[in-house]
Amino acid sequence: MVEDVSEDSVDPDRLPDRLPRVGALTRIRRAERGAIGGAIAVVPMTAVFWVARASKLIDEVPPHKAIRSVTRHLREPSLSLVSGGAHILVGAAAGAIFGLVVPRKRQGPLTGLLFGLGVWVTGYEVVMPSATDIAPAHRDRRRRALVIFAAHVVFGTILGISGRHKS
């Protein structure tokens, strides 16, 4: 019988061969914890977008613009529901990756911030320009690019902080 071992007391990469299920279970828990943190971190990130929109720094919240560019048939309120849901899912997926690749004892504001910047570069230099009509960050309007950059700083920092707390 395999006893339940907490992640805090076991390094999943140093588990004895007789406990192979604990390593897989620990990885699942790390991914789950990261996904929850990522979904939570999307909330303050989105607040940055909405404040920027209200301040006229951007014309449209980026997730909304991305979904609108690939699903031209959607109208409100469906467009907002789909874009909000997609943004939460992307944040959760990024958080799951963070939870898997960054050991919990190394998670914190700095590692989260660096991860958030990696998400920003990947998303706004590669993925979004390839999949939508959103310009890459280096060609986008400066204010818009800075808002998206700042939002990812907030996302990563909150994600890193969330990983430090026990669930």
Residue 11 falls inside a structural domain: no
The pLDDT of 20-48, averaged and rounded, is 87
Residue 19 falls inside a structural domain: no
Domain count, the chain: 1
The pLDDT of 3-20, averaged and rounded, is 52
Q: What pLDDT score was predicted for residue 26?
A: 85
Q: With a threshold of 0.85, does the pTM exceed it?
A: no
Residue 14 falls inside a structural domain: no
Residue 98's pLDDT band (cuts 50, 70, 90) = very high
Q: What pLDDT score was predicted for residue 1?
A: 45
Report whether pLDDT(20) > 50.
Answer: no
Residue 119 falls inside a structural domain: yes
Q: Look at 18-22, 66-70, 97-101, 112-116 and tell me which has the smallest mean pLDDT.
A: 18-22
Residue 2 falls inside a structural domain: no
Q: What is the mean pLDDT of the chain?
A: 86
56: left (phi over 0), alpha (psi -120 to 50) or beta: left
Residue 66 falls inside a structural domain: yes
Q: Which residue segment(s) compose the domain that 99 sits in? A: 37-164
The more confident residue out of 146 and 165 is 146
Q: Which own/partner pairs from 44-50 qualify as long-range (CB within 8 Å, at least 24 positions apart)?
A: 44/154, 44/155, 44/158, 45/91, 45/151, 45/152, 45/154, 45/155, 45/158, 46/84, 46/87, 46/151, 48/147, 48/150, 48/151, 48/154, 49/147, 49/151
Q: What pLDDT score was predicted for residue 10?
A: 56
